[in-house]
């Protein structure tokens, strides 16, 4: 392990998480102005076998994948193969069905397409057939007028953008990541892991579940739980009482007062038919033994939630962005310009996005307004900060009970900034 003395407090926080029993296995890496100043790992990669976490142990990091997929698409923009203002149907004609002819590539990147849910249940046999899942989405009608609102496309983001990439290049997101990003930069980073990587990948474990945790999706397909059992929470209360408020959209009503927002999130988390759970639960990873630990998921390379990486590989990706090795500096600057901000129709909490990258918000809490990146279900985190020259990656296998982020990652990131 390595930790520059300037960042000693980061190591202290990392070690305290293990001492307090908050981590099972984890790794944390930081680049500062292009130098690897923190490279820490510890714990158990597989609780069933006792296999230790090694320097090259990768982990499945769920939605951290979206930033990598966005970079692949933006590289095609740089090459003149597609434009973010281009209607998706120009490269994918079938997508124009059900009134989607005006939906643009930018709408896909910013969660504005109105397609956060695959309406028909995706059979297990189709989990690794990404074009087939994309075809299901092409035949759907948007749940809202594209471009008028945003809602987190937790899984569909990847199937949609992945199909645009395939139509333009004839290759998958995972193939382009390997050939143009991970390979040239020598990063331990795969969107669709090969068998030898799967063998050494950490096995995810469900974390403890506080009884009234906001942002939880009950029985969500995104959760990695090897048992289907869940504690039954009390039904939340706290709806707005005035008739005028009740006439407004639910997410607008909930945003008025924190207790109303919390009640709406809890209500959605308990409702299997809610937009939140439908967006998170199809394709349903939990139908496979071990959920996201299953080789089918690790190998499939879903472009929204399929990344397998080490902390060093994830931090290295953001270092590549900051250095101009992944995207041109002007492309990255434009991608970080806020496109949407405010209440999210799927997550309820405020989210903020540039072109595929999360920006600071309630769901991406950062010590710096110049930070960008993406979190993953259960706590994984990747971020860059061009103003401070920081690139950070955090991966772990003990899942937090939250849709985005966890306190361990937040503490580590705060310790990095406190060390500057």
Mean pLDDT of all residues in 110-135 = 97
Residue 414 has pLDDT above 80, yes or no: yes
pLDDT in tens, 322-348: 999 999 999 999 999 999 999 999 999
Position 23 in a domain: no
Residue 261 has pLDDT above 90, yes or no: no
Position 175 in a domain: yes
Position 245 in a domain: yes
Give the bridge partners for 26, in sequence order: 42, 396
The residues, ordered by sequence, that sit 6+ positions from 227 with a Cβ below 8 Å of its Cβ are none
Alpha-carbon span 32 to 391, nearest angstrom:
7
Instruction: Say which DSSP state 99 is in.
Output: G
pLDDT in tens, 200-222: 999 999 865 443 333 333 333 33
Number of domains in the chain: 1
pLDDT in tens, 52-89: 999 999 999 999 999 999 999 999 999 999 999 999 99
At how many degrees (to 10) do helices 65-78 and 311-323 cross? 30
Which domain CATH number covers 268?
A: 3.40.710.10
Mean pLDDT of all residues in 253-273 = 74
Position 295 in a domain: yes
pLDDT attached to residue 107: 98
Per-residue tokens: 49: 């076998």
Alpha-carbon span 251 to 346, nearest angstrom:
9
Position 351 in a domain: yes
Burial, 415: exposed, middle or buried (Cβ in 10 Å; 0-12, 13-18, 19+)?
buried
Position 6 in a domain: no
Position 67 in a domain: yes
Domain hosting 316: range is 57-406
Position 15 in a domain: no
3-state secondary structure of 141: coil
């Amino acid at each position: 392990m390595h930790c520059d003395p300037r960042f000693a407090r980061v190591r202290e926080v990392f070690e305290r998480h293990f001492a307090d029993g908050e981590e099972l296995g984890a790794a944390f890496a930081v680049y500062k102005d292009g130098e690897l100043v923190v490279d820490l790992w510890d714990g158990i990669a597989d609780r069933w076998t006792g296999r230790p976490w090694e320097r090259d142990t990768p982990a499945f990091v769920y939605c951290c994948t979206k930033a990598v997929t966005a970079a692949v698409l933006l590289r095609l923009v740089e090459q003149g193969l597609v434009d973010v203002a281009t209607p998706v149907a120009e490269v994918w004609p079938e997508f124009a069905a059900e009134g989607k002819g005006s939906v643009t590539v930018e709408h896909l990147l910013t969660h504005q397409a109105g397609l956060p849910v695959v309406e028909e249940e995706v059979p297990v046999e189709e989990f690794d057939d990404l074009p087939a899942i994309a075809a299901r989405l092409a035949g759907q009608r948007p749940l809202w007028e594209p471009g008028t609102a945003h809602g987190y496309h937790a899984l569909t983001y990847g199937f949609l953008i992945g199909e645009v990439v395939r139509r333009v290049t004839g290759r998958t997101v995972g193939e382009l990541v390997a050939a143009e990003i991970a390979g040239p930069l020598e990063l331990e980073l795969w969107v669709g892991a090969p068998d030898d990587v799967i063998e050494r990948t950490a096995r995810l474990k469900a974390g403890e579940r506080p009884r009234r945790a906001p942002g939880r999706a009950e029985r969500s397909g995104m959760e990695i739980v090897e048992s289907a059992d869940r504690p039954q929470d009390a039904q939340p209360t706290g709806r707005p009482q005035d008739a005028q408020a009740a006439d407004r959209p639910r997410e607008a009503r909930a945003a008025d007062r924190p207790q109303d927002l919390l009640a709406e999130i809890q209500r959605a988390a308990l409702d299997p038919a809610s937009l939140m759970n439908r967006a998170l639960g199809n394709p349903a990873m939990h139908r496979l033994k071990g959920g996201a630990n299953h080789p089918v998921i690790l190998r499939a390379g879903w472009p929204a939630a399929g990344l397998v990486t080490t902390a060093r590989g994830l931090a290295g990706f953001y270092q590549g962005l900051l250095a101009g090795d992944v995207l041109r500096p002007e492309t990255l600057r434009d991608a970080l310009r806020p496109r949407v901000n405010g209440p999210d129709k799927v997550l309820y909490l405020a989210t903020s996005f540039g072109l595929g990258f999360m920006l600071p918000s309630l769901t991406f809490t950062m010590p710096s307004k110049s930070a960008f990146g993406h979190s993953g279900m259960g706590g994984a985190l990747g971020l860059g900060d061009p103003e401070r020259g920081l690139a950070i990656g955090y991966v772990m296998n003990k899942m937090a009970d939250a849709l985005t982020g966890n306190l361990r990652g937040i503490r580590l990131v705060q310790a990095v900034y406190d060390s500057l």
